[in-house]
Structure 1
Amino acid sequence: MAAKQHTQNLLDFIDASPSPWHAVNTAETLLKPYQFIKLDETTRWQLQPGGRYYVVRDDSSIILFVLGTNPLLETGFRLVGAHTDSPGLRVKPNPANGKDGLLRLGVEIYGSPILATFTDRDLSLAGRICFKNAQDQIDSQLIKFDNPLLRLPNLAIHMNRTVNEDGLKLHKHTELPLILSELSEQQLPSDYFLSLLEKQSGIDSAHLLSWDLAVYDTQKGTLWGAEEEFYSNSQLDNLASCHAALQALLDKEVLSNTENTLVCAFFDHEEIGSESNKGADGSFLPDVLQRIALECCELQDFPRVLAKSFLVSADMAHAYHPNFPSAYDHDHKVMLNKGPVIKLNSNHRYSSESISEAMFIDWCNQASVPYQRYSHRGDLPCGSTIGPIASAKLGIRSVDVGNPMWAMHSIRESAGVFDHDYMIKVLKRFFLAHTNT
């Protein structure tokens, strides 16, 4: 069935994307059959109506767009925003420690992962390394260890008798180093670690300068449940939204209808606040949108284009967990496989408001897709997304939506098979819609 096939494609996308740098690379691979042209931010652009383009900033944020044939002043931009990063562990600059005959890697917490879920998993490393190339220039390369390389073994219950009552608590500095190998007295920890990078990348360790390395779970994504109605993988938050937006944009009907200017913007650093040169709070999106607009408008017309535009901020939502009913507002429970969730918060932690909410509901109805509304418990702090950030920076109307999921920020998250198909359908409808309110 179509829903399961879309979900399997998502699982394959995530399995090929164990880091934000790999996620952008995988997205680029998906674009190749569709004749998208890669643009360089340092060069002058020459864009054609109906043309398909994309631009990458610092390897882990990407904006892709189809330039519409109708005037931008009439249509504005139709944007879907999501993020490529997920909470987890990142390798420190001087990570190797050889104490007690075991080589361990020091890690730093990135964002807000559920640390206990990293224990007793088959972990490995993926990311980006930087080095001096043969032309004596600084270069970078993706790197990924496919085999289980690392482990964070749990402490036996005999030494932690209250773990089932108090929960597993890991000291963020002393109890997170990951076991990599046994180490002989003759081996230097740093040399051993660099030799692993050299063997995997083919880059002489003497030329290695730095790295961005994420810890990831080597277990592949899977369908589960008696009817395979659920799926599980790492990084559903938020690669599931990136994949849904990509599938909607690359749909044959969407690409053959080039009236609207369509944009997908996938940012790194959402999990740590988005404040960077490639995050949603940086200049990447405004820079790209302005350069697109200046191909066909005067600079003074750019705010008029933004006033005609609309942003769907797509990020995952909290599904109701029946084992923990007290964690939810009883009147705003959202369920797996019941459709995309419109996320609402009066303090504007989400960008949705009544008009954008109504517009998204209308697109759901047009696409014959069910929808749900979510509001957080009033006595619990609410998370946020790129929606309020990008909407405020650009001055455009926005709605925050996402598919419901369990175990957000776990190394192994779960969601509903039908919801992924629903999200693709409604985003496709959004791209094809003729007018904004």
Structure 2
Amino acid sequence: MSAPSRFDRGHTDDLMTFLSASPTPYHAVASAAERLEKAGFRQVSETDAWDGTSGGKYVLRGGAIVAWYVPEGAAAHTPFRIVGAHTDSPNLRVKPRPDTGAHGWRQVAVEIYGGPLMNSWLDRDLGLAGRLSLRDGSTRLVNVDRPLLRVPQLAIHMDRNVTADGLKLDKQRHLQPVWGLDDTVRDGDLIAFLEDEAGLARGEVTGWDLMTHSVEPPAYLGRDRELVAGPRMDNLLSVHAGTAALAAVATSGADLPYIPVLAAFDHEETGSQSDTGADGPLLGGVLERSVFARGGSYEDRARAFAGTVCLSSDTGHAVHPNYAERHDPTHHPRVNGGPILKVNVNNRYATDGSGRAVFAAACEKAGIPFQTFVSNNSMPCGTTIGPITAARHGISTVDIGVAILSMHSARELCGTDDPHLLANALVAFLQP
């Protein structure tokens, strides 16, 4: 992967395809797995015994994927180079009893997931997607990728103060989408509809994890098409770049001194505390089993972890032209200016000076610029999986990403070239 020219947008075209195919974390990891399979990776089950053979392997667990490539002849104590990311995005998720409505409207009961910009979900055509759990113990992905739901905003004639006072939304009362007309609410209607959509028999679905998504496709934007608007860039942009980088390194034929890894977790937007989150045991378990499968001991595991570095890749904030005063006055990341290094001395990001040097070396090798993001001291700083990964596994971790606008909106905005620049940096990091 070389740095793109202004009009070399193949990677970004593929990102847009990936975003469209990945309306939920479950679809995102399936999309990533499909790409890795084409690069020669094979899925391994957590319930099977693992062998120590070389090559590319991956584990799927819910909305998380961990993939790694073992070079031929890798020692048991060979360190890892990890790209970390997350698959989830703030949205509206279906409640256990989804069928509701009032005054002749059929509605779907939803719960707020994470911290969405709630106004961005109003008056937007929404689809419905997720995972269906079946009576036989299997699961089935479903994606109704057409206008099905809508959260209608109250007309200005009935909210005359909205312009002066701002929009005020009650999470319980004002965000329940409509999906039809009926004076009778019937339990089971939504799931029966989804069973039909998925080609399943009635009563076959006994559990579900469902969420709404905007059906408007990603699109280039701007006079020179130098911007991209689309959903779930936070943080599928990083998942896509990490997948592309790992596949490129695994098929390069290069002599690798490290074992390259992609770890894309679920539930980052709600604290990462789950069996598929960064604060769970998934990553550590996979890395340890890889060491032990190659005949390693606990001493080999300790040596491997001590030499491991993780790039926690998540989107960050580009300087906003209408709110520049909200940013640190000396740190104004720009779109299409290259990936950002995220720094916070209170450890909301895991970057330190030695980590900065690792990332700077990767960008120098890739021949790309990078920028630095620091929060305004007057505002609280967000966080990522970076500090969690560092603390849980004792792994040196660096927080990076791509600068975007409209973070946590149903539709976010990034530069056309930045996704490919990030992928180039990740290739150079995984293959030093």
Q: Indicate which of 128, 133, 142 corresponds to 1:130.
A: 133
C-alpha separation in 2, matches of 1:280 and 1:390: 7
Gap change, CA 1:258 and 1:61, over 3 Å in 2: farther
Whether contact under 8 Å (2:82, 2:261) holds in the other structure is yes
C-alpha separation in 2, matches of 1:258 and 1:67: 11
Question: What residue is the counterpart of 1:17 in the other structure?
Answer: 22
Offset, 1:72: 4.4
Q: Indicate which of 113, 118, 143 corresponds to 1:115.
A: 118
AA aligned to 1:144 is N
C-alpha separation in 2, matches of 1:273 and 1:191: 31
Larger relative helix fraction: 1
Alignment partner of 1:26 is 2:63: no
Alignment partner of 1:193 is 2:190: yes
Aligned partner of residue 149 in structure 1, secondary structure? strand
Offset, 1:301: 2.0
Question: What residue is the counterpart of 1:5 in the other structure?
Answer: 10
Whether contact under 8 Å (2:129, 2:212) holds in the other structure is yes
Aligned partner of residue 138 in structure 2, secondary structure? strand
Alignment partner of 1:266 is 2:288: no
Please list the CA deviations of residues 133-181 of structure 1 after superposition, one character each: whole Å capped at 9, or x if unmatched: xxxx222100110210000111111111222233222101111110011
Whether contact under 8 Å (2:362, 2:428) holds in the other structure is yes
TM-score of the aligned structures, taking structure 1 as reference length: 0.94
Question: What residue is the counterpart of 2:225 in the other structure?
Answer: 228
Aligned pairs, how many? 425
AA aligned to 2:360 is I
Q: Report the more deviating stretch, 2-11 or 377-386.
A: 2-11
Q: Indicate which of 84, 88, 91 corresponds to 2:87.
A: 84
Question: What residue is the counterpart of 1:278 in the other structure?
Answer: 276
Please list the CA deviations of residues 3-47 of structure 1 after superposition, one character each: whole Å capped at 9, or x if unmatched: 411111001001000000100111111122222111000110113
CA RMSD of aligned residues (A): 1.5
- Map residues 363-374 of structure 1 onto 2, 5 A cutoff: 363-374=362-373
Question: What residue is the counterpart of 1:219 in the other structure?
Answer: 216
C-alpha separation in 2, matches of 1:216 and 1:330: 35
Please list the CA deviations of residues 63-84 of structure 1 after superposition, one character each: whole Å capped at 9, or x if unmatched: 0110123544664001000000
Whether contact under 8 Å (1:3, 1:417) holds in the other structure is no
Alignment partner of 1:146 is 2:150: no
Q: Report the more deviating stretch, 231-240 or 206-215.
A: 206-215
**Identity over aligned residues, as a percent?**
37
Q: Report the more deviating stretch, 353-362 or 66-75.
A: 66-75
Q: Which runs of 5+ in 2 are unaligned?
A: none
Aligned partner of residue 104 in structure 1, secondary structure? strand
C-alpha separation in 2, matches of 1:220 and 1:336: 21
Aligned partner of residue 286 in structure 1, secondary structure? helix
Alignment partner of 1:156 is 2:160: no
Q: Report the more deviating stretch, 196-205 or 414-423.
A: 196-205
Whether contact under 8 Å (2:101, 2:108) holds in the other structure is no
TM-score of the aligned structures, taking structure 2 as reference length: 0.95
Aligned partner of residue 345 in structure 1, secondary structure? coil
Offset, 1:424: 0.9
C-alpha separation in 2, matches of 1:337 and 1:179: 39
Gap change, CA 1:363 and 1:121, over 3 Å in 2: same
Aligned partner of residue 147 in structure 1, secondary structure? strand
AA aligned to 1:69 is E
